[in-house]
């Protein structure tokens, strides 16, 4: 199974003033390689022609395009009206072409610093999941709390991360199957609607649900207790990282995925946060929070929790949604201090009393939604601000 790909970028000024195009190397993938990215606006129209060269890889290759209006600080433009060599069935070749109807997606706008990012990856990625490429990143931050220090190098093997938080509808479907197949005490859970994230689930229940989802899909379960598949009770399971099934991401995997290929940024898209980027509680008392104050009025309706439907905001550079705000997300790791040395595929402390959660929620201020922010709870705890998403190891 292929588990690698490549990104490349091109820039131009939009609408009519075209700048020199510059290829910018992105996250490196060895299997499929994108190069020679060019972009130009058709004279007198709002159509944009993008071309690139694609080499390597085994068909079909999945190609996606993202656009930035701020020189690559964020990639949040709505590039959806596209045709050509894009999507999940692309073959390698020179002068691959994509046409973007910018008039349909971004009419009446202008920027002198538009950049495009072309990503080529594995079309065989599991449905609803994004490939997070192997490689190292700098985990933690110098500007946060003491438990976010020291900043250290972490190498993470390639893995798959679910693009969206697990919804109430997904939870209910697997739970119903599990109750008839030995998973007798899975939490009912809460959710504002079928397409909103499930919440009020303990860490134990999430782990057992991952096992049930794996078995239902014909995959190998990741969690065992005393050598048997973990199905019931509140026990401390053993994690098999090489199993093919669904599991919680490790804390390092979560942070790498949340950063979306960016380095040293506060949030998955850059260094500021606003209501147009995440469902969180605004607090304009800090420079990076563009506010305004209070809950997002689009979702602060009815009773708590003020969650938003999954995928309501732009994805990060890896194509993952809601990595800041909406719901805290349980990770696998016991909570512990960071070491100063480089690590490879860390899985947290060997033991502890609290499990790590990441990402902030609908009720949290921007500070808690930073990619390096850490919070903890005991694994038997669940409330309406904690949800989760699944990961899978990238195994042949």
Cα torsion at 385, 276, 322, 360 (round to 10°)? -40
Q: How far apart are CA 216 and CA 177, in angstroms?
A: 8
pLDDT digits (tens, 9 = 90+) for 24-70: 223 333 367 889 999 999 999 999 999 999 988 767 677 878 888 88
**Domain 128-396 listed as CATH 3.90.1580.10:** yes
Mean of all residue pLDDT scores within the chain: 89
What number is the average pLDDT over the span 182-207? 98
Cα torsion at 187, 192, 194, 198 (round to 10°)? -40
Map out the domains of the chain as residue ranges: 6-124, 128-396
121-130, 228-237, 356-365: least confident range: 121-130
CA angle 205, 160, 350 (to 5 degrees): 55
Per DSSP, the residues of 366-382 read GGGGSTT--EEE-TT--
Tokens of 341: 């040395």
pLDDT (0 to 100) of residue 20: 26
pLDDT digits (tens, 9 = 90+) for 215-227: 999 999 999 999 9
What number is the average pLDDT over the span 300-326? 95
Q: Roughly what angle, to the nearest 10 degrees, separates helices 203-216 and 168-179?
A: 70
3-class secondary-structure state, position 302: coil
Tokens of 346: 């860390």
Omega prior to 171 cis, within 30 of 0: no
Question: How many CB atoms are located within 10 Å of the residue 89 CB?
Answer: 12
The sheet carrying 129-132 orders its strands as 129-132, 159-162, 391-393
What number is the average pLDDT over the span 336-348? 95
Q: Does the pLDDT of residue 97 top 80, yes or no?
A: yes
CA distances from 368 to 260, 280, 359 (A): 18, 9, 7
Q: Are 129 and 318 in contact (CB under 8 A)?
A: no
Q: Does the pLDDT of residue 15 top 50, yes or no?
A: no
CA distances from 154 to 14, 215, 272, 324, 345 (A): 38, 31, 25, 21, 7
Highest-pLDDT range among 27-41, 73-87, 125-139, 353-367: 353-367
Q: Are 283 and 293 in contact (CB under 8 A)?
A: yes
CA distances from 365 to 125, 295, 389 (A): 34, 9, 21
Q: Does the pLDDT of residue 3 top 60, yes or no?
A: no
Q: Are 48 and 107 in contact (CB under 8 A)?
A: no
With a CB cutoff of 8 Å and minimum separation 6, the contacts of 249 are 159, 161, 257, 331, 332, 389, 390, 391
Q: How far apart are CA 82 and CA 316, in angstroms?
A: 19
Q: Quick one: which of 299, 316, 392 has its CA closest to 359?
A: 316
Tokens of 122: 């594995």
More confident residue, 57 or 269: 269
* H or E element, residue 34: strand 32-41
pLDDT digits (tens, 9 = 90+) for 121-174: 665 678 899 988 888 999 999 988 999 999 999 999 989 999 999 999 999 999
CA distances from 141 to 282, 350, 354 (A): 22, 23, 22
pLDDT (0 to 100) of residue 123: 59
Residue with tokens 């950049």: 115
């Amino acid at each position: 199974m292929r588990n690698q790909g490549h990104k490349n970028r091109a820039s131009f000024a939009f609408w009519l003033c075209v700048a020199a195009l510059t290829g910018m190397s992105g996250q490196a993938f060895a299997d499929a390689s994108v190069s020679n990215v060019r972009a130009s606006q058709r004279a007198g129209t709002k159509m944009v022609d993008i071309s690139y060269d694609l080499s390597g890889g085994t068909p079909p290759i999945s190609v996606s395009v993202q656009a930035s209006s701020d020189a690559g600080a964020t990639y949040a433009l709505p590039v959806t009206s596209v045709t050509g060599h894009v999507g999940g069935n692309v073959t390698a070749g020179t002068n691959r072409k994509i046409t973007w109807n910018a008039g349909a997606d971004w009419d009446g706008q202008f920027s002198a610093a538009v950049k495009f990012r072309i990503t080529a990856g594995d079309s065989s990625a599991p449905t609803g999941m994004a490939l997070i490429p192997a490689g190292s990143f700098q985990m933690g931050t110098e500007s946060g709390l003491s438990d976010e220090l020291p900043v250290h190098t972490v190498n993470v093997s390639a893995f798959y991360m679910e693009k969206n938080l697990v919804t109430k509808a997904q939870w209910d479907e697997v739970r119903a199957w599990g109750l008839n197949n030995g998973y007798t005490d899975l939490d009912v859970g809460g959710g504002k609607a079928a397409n909103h994230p499930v919440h009020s689930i303990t860490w134990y229940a999430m782990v057992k649900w991952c096992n049930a989802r794996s078995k239902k899909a014909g995959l190998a379960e990741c969690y065992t207790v005393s050598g048997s598949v973990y199905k019931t009770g509140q026990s401390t399971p053993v994690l098999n990282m090489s199993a093919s099934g669904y599991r919680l991401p490790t804390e390092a995997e979560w942070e790498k995925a949340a950063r979306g290929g960016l380095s040293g940024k506060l949030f998955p898209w850059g260094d500021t946060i606003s209501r147009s980027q995440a469902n969180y509680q605004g607090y304009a008392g800090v420079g990076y929070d563009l506010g305004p104050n209070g809950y997002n009025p689009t979702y602060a309706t009815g009773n708590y929790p003020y969650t938003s439907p999954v995928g309501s905001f732009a994805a990060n550079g890896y194509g993952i949604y809601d990595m800041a705000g909406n719901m805290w997300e349980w990770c696998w790791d016991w909570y512990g201090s960071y070491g100063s040395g480089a690590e490879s595929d860390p899985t947290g402390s060997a033991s502890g009393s609290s499990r790590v959660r990441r990402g902030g929620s609908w009720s949290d201020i921007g500070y808690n939604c930073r990619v390096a922010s850490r919070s903890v709870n005991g694994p038997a705890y669940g409330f309406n601000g904690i949800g989760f998403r699944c990961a899978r190891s990238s195994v042949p």
